[in-house]
Amino acid sequence: MRSTTLLALLALVLLYLVSGALVFQALEQPHEQQAQRELGEVREKFLKAHPCVSEQELGHFIKEVSDALGGGADPEVNSTSNSSHSVWNLGSAFFFSGTIITTIGYGNTALRTDAGRLFCIFYALVGIPLFGILLAGVGDRLGSSLRRGIGHIEAIFLKWHVPPELVRVLSAVLFLLIGCLLFVLTPMFVFCYVEGWSKLEAIYFVIVTLTTVGFGDYVAGTDPKQDTPTYQPLVWFWILFGLAYFASVLTTIGNWLRVVSRRTRAEMGGLTAQAASWTGTVTARVTQRAGPAVPPPEKERPLLPPPPAPAPPPPAIQKPPSPPEKVEKVEPPSPPTGSALDYPSENLAFIDESSDTQSEHGCALGRATRGRRRPNPPRKPARPRGPRHPRDKGEPA
């Protein structure tokens, strides 16, 4: 995780904590002040009714009573020999051990001996990882069972030609609804019936327990009227399956978030590439329309050595004119026609306008080669003729 992301997450958590503190203070502080005033009024009435008791003795008595209540003592029970209402009977001790390894820790019952506290340290260090392994296995098996059952429902929806996207949404909703029905709503009604709580108190206890918060103001099985020894162990097994269900839900949400994160990163990468390509195309078009870039003024130019002067381009090599094609058969000159006007460039190929003499010579060549597509090469000067040979006259040698 990046440092900026971590700092942003820390700031968000701190803001969440401050907002929660302000809300809880606004809601609970008036009730606390009212309870403190009522306690003060009760103390004054007791001191007026019993003037032989001093205020210090009364304060010491109240402190001892509160400590005894914190240790699990019941003020309505006077007999100390009745073990059925003891906090440390087998069922209650099993439930207390379960609250240690599940990290709930209600706090309504606390250890008072040094030996018990020392044993609790090692017991928690071994039991919490062991319970975590058990919780992962139960959550995996429970989630697989629920998903298998929901898979049959998905098959029915697909047979009804329901779109697959809608089927996925419906399966996720069914997974949440079935879990809430089994581990939230049903226990809520059970606690309302057994403990005598209101629906708000029961749902409050369920959520506080399954989120492992465990305030301890409401704990199942602490009512002295509830003397069934198997009640609290059954509550602990409900906690086990409820925590496994919530672990399965959190695992599913985590997998879904990872998939969404990967898809988002892939889509963002594609969008970034498309944006870069589009930006490059637009920049190239703007540069072509705007022409060459205007150099910065003298004050803004960087102090760099001047670039070396470009080397002059090499002189163009003129190709010699290709030799005219050889004419296999020389036709006699045709009478003058208007065909020479059709190819003025070919007829004027060897004209040099620098002198009249060559110009006249070119005109003569033009008349001699009139009617031909390409001019003949210039003739070589004739060799001087000597006396005729006798064979020229047809005489015998």
Give the model's pLDDT for residue 385. 58
- What is the structure's pLDDT at 335? 47
How many residues are present in the chain?
397
- Cβ–Cβ under 8 Å, residues 77 and 214: no
CA 314 remoteness from chain centre: 60
Task: Give the Cα separation of 227 and 215 in Å (integer).
Answer: 23
**How many CA atoms within 13 Å lie on the side-chain side of 126?**
6
What CA–CA distance (Å, rounded) separates 183 from 181?
Answer: 6
- CB atoms under 10 Å from CB of 235, counted, come to 20
Residue for token digits 């803004």?
300
Q: What was the pLDDT predicted at 126?
A: 93
Report pLDDT for 175. 83
Packed helices 90-101 and 231-290: angle between N→C axes, nearest 10 degrees: 10
* HSE toward the beta carbon, residue 349, CA cutoff 13 A: 15
What is the pLDDT, as a whole number, of residue 348?
37
Per-residue burial over 35-69, b = 16 or more CB atoms within 10 Å of its CB, e = otherwise: eeeeeeeeeeeeeeeeeeeeeeeeeeeeeeeeeee
Angle, CA of 71, 110 and 27, to the nearest 5°: 90
- Burial 324-337, CB ≥16 within 10 A → b, else e: eeeeeeeeeeeeee
The pLDDT, as a whole number, for residue 164 is: 82
Identify which of 306, 301, 302, 368 has the alpha carbon closest to the alpha carbon of residue 332: 368
pLDDT value for 346: 38
Query: What's residue 73's pLDDT?
Result: 67
N-term to C-term CA, the chain: 119
**Contact of 205 with 191, CB cutoff 8 Å:** yes
Q: Which residue has the tokens 């003397």?
A: 227
DSSP codes, 252-317: HHHHHHHHHHHHHHHHHHHHHHHHHHHHHHHHHHHHHHH-SPPPPPTTTS---PPPPPPPPPPPPP
Task: Give the integer Cα–Cα distance in Å for 375 and 321.
Answer: 13
Instruction: Return the sign of the alpha-carbon dihedral for residues 106, 65, 121, 98.
Output: negative
Q: CA 347, CA 373: separation in Å to the nearest integer?
A: 8
Q: Residue 214, by phi and psi: left (phi above 0), alpha (psi -120 to 50) or beta?
A: left
User: Tens-of-pLDDT digits for all 397 residues of the chain?
Assistant: 788 888 998 899 899 899 999 998 999 999 988 988 888 888 888 888 888 888 888 888 888 887 777 666 666 666 555 545 567 888 888 999 999 999 998 887 888 888 999 999 999 999 999 999 998 888 888 878 888 888 888 888 888 888 888 888 888 888 888 888 989 999 999 999 999 899 999 999 999 999 888 888 899 888 777 777 888 889 999 999 999 888 877 777 777 777 766 766 666 666 666 666 766 775 676 566 655 555 555 544 555 555 565 666 555 555 555 555 444 455 555 444 444 333 343 333 333 444 444 444 554 545 545 545 555 555 655 565 555 555 544 445 4
Predicted pLDDT at 353: 41
> What is the structure's pLDDT at 147?
80
Dump the DSSP string for 187-223. Answer: HHHHHHHHH---HHHHHHHHHHHHTT---SSS-TT-S
pLDDT at 288: 65
**What pLDDT does 235 receive?**
92
